Amino acid sequence: MTPEQRAEELAFMQDENQWPKWPYLPMKQSQKHGPPNVGYMVAGNVPTIHKENVWTFGRTSTAAPMNSNKVVYQSYEAILDDGWEID
């Protein structure tokens, strides 16, 4: 990701008014081998990735969406540093 792309991703993540599927923002994390990890952010929360497909939660899991496998980050920058990007 170029510095310009990173700045655009960061600005988009921080402005929930731009999220096309508000209150969710689908995210993906590329892997060296295999398909990407999928997850989503939820509007109004601290920088958190819920590691579940935003379009199938509740259908493929017994966990409630907000109780799914999640990772809380210190900042939106840390999410990008961990390889996540907007899907």
Q: What tens digit of pLDDT does each residue of 35-54 get?
A: 999 999 999 888 999 998 87
Q: What is the DSSP string of the chain?
A: --HHHHHHHHHHHH-GGG-TBTTEEEEEE--SSSSPEEEEEETTSSSEEE-S-TTTTTTS-SS-GGGSSEEE-S-HHHHHHTTEEE-
pLDDT of residue 40: 93
- Total number of domains in the chain: 1
* Predicted TM-score of the model (pTM): 0.81
Q: Which domain holds residue 15?
A: 3-86
